[in-house]
Amino acid sequence: MIEYSKAVEIILNSTKTLGLEKVFLDRALGRVLAEDIHADRDNPPADNSGMDGFAVRYEDIKGASEENPAILEIIAESKAGGELVKVEPKTAAYIYTGGLIPEGADTVVQKELTKVEDNKVFIFQELPKGSNIRPQGGDYRKGDLLIKKGKKLRPAEIGILSSVNKPTVYVYQKPRVAILTTGDEILDVGEPVEKLSQIRTSNTYSLYSQVLEAGGEPVVIGFAKDNPEDIQKKLEYAKSCDILLTTGGVSVGEYDLVKDFVVKVLGVEILFWKVKQKPGKPVAFGVWGREKEKLFFGIPGNPVAAMVVFENMVKPAIRKMSGEEKVFNPVINAKLKGGYKRKKGERVEFIRVSLSLTDDGFVAQPFGKQGSNILTGMVYAHGFGIVDVGVTEIKDGETIKVSVFDKSFMDGRYGD
Ligand code: AMP
Ligand code: MG
């Protein structure tokens, strides 16, 4: 049995980032950028106007006031996407937001400060030279580094990619994650219940969805009974994947065959089995494949344990494989409502909490039923409160670290 922190260290040291692929922009959301993005031009490409109004020479509006307006003849127009025009002394050009600053002009007077009569503009106020001009390269210069490799692409980055004329972009490949569900008692959705002892799967599809959320490509490779032939047969389907997740069958029971068979069928080298954590103690981890570049996680069958192990151990590996720099869920400090007590402090414990954001900061509310088989506790949870090794009590109102797997409480959804 090893320490939790050691287990995570072994996992990340065994995880290699995958290769690259090219995707079109409309498929780039949430992918991890695998190339640095530089500017193809200056932005703005030339000085342009930040307002609708008149492009003038500062010289000509110097000293203008309500009583003594500057009166300039309007001789041109500059609109967004238009041609470069010119102003002469004592003249002005109509200009619109995004219009090029005319040759000879150095200042833009917003429409609100002017009046037009007989093709002449009256300007009632002096403005500083250069007013309302967005300078060439004010946002960025040609060649500037705009987005660094490793960034997870959001709408803003995708906007920038298109503005620098990239219809396709290199991103890291997503790991293919095989999910094998084991257990004589487990039924897939849709299968008829024939015996009282049968259990409908939850792990298959909670893991599937967690893989999607983490940025992986889930593949359900099947449901295996607790017998050598079936496990052996179904494991064959894992071969085309980067990560194999099995659920169930990694405890010490006679029917817990998974560990032995991943070694036999896939050549997995087991790097650890059993971690000092609650829930999720009997988790197994190993590497396989030609260069030991593939990962195996033997996840315990208890539904909550499965979800906890995924968030804390599998998700960081998926994120590292897909090129992300930040691999862990964010950890925040919250005030623990009601407190938490336990008898022994030998293992790190992850307790399900719902979070709310109050005037007093984050508040974490644990659920009454914390058993690793109580899946309904997960429905209202936003994070795992971390009770460290050696800690047996956290009092009401004391601070607890919470590893947040769901940020939806930020939208005001507080466990409803
Ligand atoms: P195991 O890890 O195989 O010893 O299973 C531990 C517990 O989790 C047992 O009560 C199983 O019935 C239950 N279990 C195992 N696999 C699943 C699953 N896919 N969905 C829901 N419960 C499961
Ligand atoms: Mg089992």
- For atom 18 of ligand 1, the residue with the nearest CA is 201
Domain boundaries, the chain: 2-18+174-321, 20-43+138-172, 48-134, 331-410
Q: Is 361 helix (H, G, I), strand (E, B) or coil?
A: strand
Helix (H, G, I), strand (E, B) or coil at 400: strand
Which ligand 1 atom lies nearest to the CA of residue 256?
Answer: 3
380 Cα to the center of ligand 2, angstroms: 26
pLDDT in tens, 106-146: 999 999 999 999 999 999 999 999 999 999 999 999 999 99
* Amino acid in position 119: N
DSSP secondary structure letters along 240-276: G-SEEEEES--SSSTT--HHHHHHHHH--EEEEE-BS
Q: What is the pLDDT of residues 220-251, one digit of tens each?
A: 999 999 999 999 999 999 999 999 999 999 88
Q: What's residue 7's pLDDT? A: 98
Please count the other Cβ atoms lying within 10 Å of the Cβ belonging to residue 35: 14
- How far is residue 378's CA from residue 353's CA, in Å, rounded to a whole number? 8
Looking at residue 415, its pLDDT comes to 52
In the three-class reduction of DSSP (H, G, I as helix; E, B as strand; rest coil), residue 5 is classed as helix
Q: Name, in order, each residue with C-beta under 8 angstroms of 101's C-beta and a sequence gap of 6 or more.
A: 46, 47, 48, 49, 55, 78, 95, 108, 133
Pairing of strands 277-278, 114-117: unpaired
Q: What pairs with residue 73 in β-bridges?
A: 91, 120
**Confidence bin at 208 (pLDDT 50/70/90):** very high
pLDDT classification of 82: cutoffs 50, 70, 90: very high
Per the CATH hierarchy, to which homologous superfamily does domain 48-134 belong? Answer: Molybdopterin biosynthesis moea protein, domain 3. (2.170.190.11)
Q: What is the pLDDT of residues 53-79, one digit of tens each?
A: 999 999 999 999 999 999 999 999 999
Q: Strand 114-117's sheet: what is its strand order?
A: 107-110, 53-56, 91-95, 70-78, 120-123, 114-117
Burial of 3 (0-12, 13-18, 19+ CB in 10 A): middle
At the top level of CATH, which class does the domain 331-410 belong to? mainly beta
Q: Which residues of 123-146 are buried (b: 16+ CB within 10 A; e: fewer)?
A: bbebbeeebbbbebbeebeeeeeb
The best mutation among 179, 181, 182, 186 to test binding of ligand 1, ranked by most ligand atoms within 8 Å of the C-beta, falls on 186
Encoding tokens for residue 312? 């804390």
In terms of Cβ atoms closer than 10 Å to its own Cβ (0-12, 13-18, 19+), residue 337 is middle
For residue 186, which of 304, 307, 302, 305 has the smallest C-alpha distance? 302
What per-residue confidence (pLDDT) applies to 291?
97
The DSSP letter of residue 229 is: H
Ligand 1 atom showing the smallest separation from residue 201 Cα: 20
Can the peptide bond before residue 279 be classed as cis, meaning omega within 30 degrees of 0?
yes
- Asked whether the predicted pLDDT for residue 416 surpasses 60, the reply is no
Predicted pLDDT at 203 = 97
Contacts of 316 (CB under 8 A, 6+ apart): 8, 11, 12, 15, 327, 328
Rounded to an integer, what distance in angstroms lies between the CA atom of residue 309 and that of residue 218?
16
Decide: 307 and 279 in contact? Cβ < 8 Å: no
pLDDT in tens, 6-23: 999 999 999 999 999 999
Contact 250, 259 (CB under 8 A): yes
Task: Check: CB of residue 10 under 8 Å from CB of residue 270.
Answer: no
Confidence of residue 260 (pLDDT cuts 50, 70, 90): very high
Instruction: List, as one string, the DSSP characters of 130-156.
Output: TTTEE-TTSSB-TT-EEE-TTPBP-HH
Q: DSSP for 184-228?
A: TTEE-TTPPP-STT-EE-SHHHHHHHHHHHHT-EEEEEEEE-SSH
| Entry pTM | 0.90
The gap between the terminal CA atoms of the chain, to the nearest Å, is 38
Pocket-forming residues, ligand 1, beta carbon under 6 Å: 181, 183, 185-186, 199, 201-204, 247-249, 251, 300-303
Mean pLDDT of 85-109: 98
Neighbours of 177 (CB within 10 A): 29
Q: Output the CA 299–ligand 2 centroid distance in Å.
A: 11
Q: One fold for both 2-18+174-321 and 48-134?
A: no
Question: Per the CATH hierarchy, to which homologous superfamily does domain 20-43+138-172 belong?
Answer: Molybdopterin biosynthesis moea protein, domain 2 (3.90.105.10)
Residue nearest to atom 6 of ligand 1 (CA): 301
Give the CA distances from residue 273 to residues 145, 169, 287, in Å, rounded to whole numbers and listed in that order: 45, 40, 13
Q: Which ligand approaches the C-alpha of residue 374 most closely?
A: 1
**Looking at residue 240, what is its pLDDT?**
96
In CATH terms, 2-18+174-321 corresponds, of 1.25.60.10, 3.40.980.10, 3.30.230.10, 3.40.50.720, to 3.40.980.10
Give the rounded distance of the alpha carbon of 173 from its chain centre.
15
Question: DSSP assignment of 48-103, as one string?
Answer: EESSSEEEE-HHHHTT--SSS-EEEEEEEEE-TT----B--TTEEEEE-TTPBPPB
